[in-house]
Amino acid sequence: MERAVRPAARRARPRLRHRRQHRHLGRHLRGHIEHARRQHALRRRVGAYEPDVVVVMLGMNDAASQMGISQETYVANMAEIVDKIRAAGATPILAASNPIRSAGEVGTRGQYTSYVQGLRAMAASEQVVFVDHFADWMTQPGAAMPTAWFGDAIHPNGLGHWHFARTLLQTLGAWDPSTGSVPSRTPRRTGSSPTRRSNSAGAPA
């Protein structure tokens, strides 16, 4: 799990701020699913903030063979997380992580693609909004892997996180391609600081 919001993605985040009547959890549940699925972890990450929406992106680490987590177990665990989020009164959004940069760097994650496929199918069957970063990165113009979006073999750099934010907002219908940010009609909440618009250099709309 990560608490940090990447700077490039922060520029593209909505103007919706944490308030009692409009509560949004501005952090991802990322990392190792066997930890995230534990009740105390979900209570700390979800229950403590009483969010309206929770975005969950897990799977890259679970696909590593040394973790010993089968695709079936991974999908079942993700379904359990969805159930717990809904039980807490929030709306779950599932997101697939980015692909691995090259075939030569797959390492112990040889079955990673099948984990993404399983997550995609489960999201459809459970009627969960699905943000398909994996497909977005795999279908860029020229069918070439966007290597400029990677910091290493599996982690996005700042530009990659900008594209994470773009794909999320596009999926939610909240992306304004003319500004590279959320639409200006999004209401600003009282007491929130102005949201900086993203610099379009190197970040195509």
Q: Identify the CATH number of the domain in which residue 102 sits.
A: 3.40.50.1110
| Mean of pLDDT over the chain | 78
C-alpha dihedral sign at 64, 8, 86, 126: negative
Question: Which amino acid, 30?
Answer: R
Domain extent, residue 79, equals 7-171
CA distances from residue 146 to 75, 84, 157, 187 in whole angstroms, order as listed: 27, 35, 11, 34
Q: Is residue 201 part of a domain?
A: no
Can you read off the two tokens belonging to residue 88? 């807490």
Work out the average pLDDT over 26-44.
Answer: 60
What total number of domains does the chain contain? 1
Q: Is residue 187 part of a domain?
A: no
Dist CA 105 CA 110 (whole Å): 10
Q: Greater confidence, 32 or 50?
A: 50
H helices present in 27-157, as ranges: 33-36, 39-42, 71-87, 112-125, 133-138
Give the CA angle between residues 186, 45, 180 to the nearest 5°.
30
Residue 139 has pLDDT above 70, yes or no: yes
Kindly state the DSSP code that residue 115 receives in the 8-state scheme.
Answer: H
Q: Are 201 and 32 in contact (CB under 8 A)?
A: no
Q: Is residue 76 part of a domain?
A: yes
Q: Is residue 112 part of a domain?
A: yes
Q: Is residue 79 part of a domain?
A: yes
Of the listed ranges 27-31, 106-110, 167-171, the one predicted with least confidence:
27-31
Q: Is residue 185 part of a domain?
A: no
Residue given tokens 């520029």 in the structure block: 11
Long-range pairs, 110-114, Cβ under 8 A, ≥24: 110/65, 111/63, 111/65, 111/71, 112/59, 112/60, 112/63, 114/71
Dist CA 101 CA 83 (whole Å): 32
Residue 163 has pLDDT above 60, yes or no: yes
Dist CA 198 CA 181 (whole Å): 6
Work out the average pLDDT over 72-78.
Answer: 95
Q: Is residue 203 part of a domain?
A: no
Contacts of 52 (CB under 8 A, 6+ apart): 22, 23, 24, 90, 91
Q: Greater confidence, 5 or 99?
A: 99
Q: Greater confidence, 168 or 50?
A: 168
Q: Please tell me the pTM assigned to this model.
A: 0.73
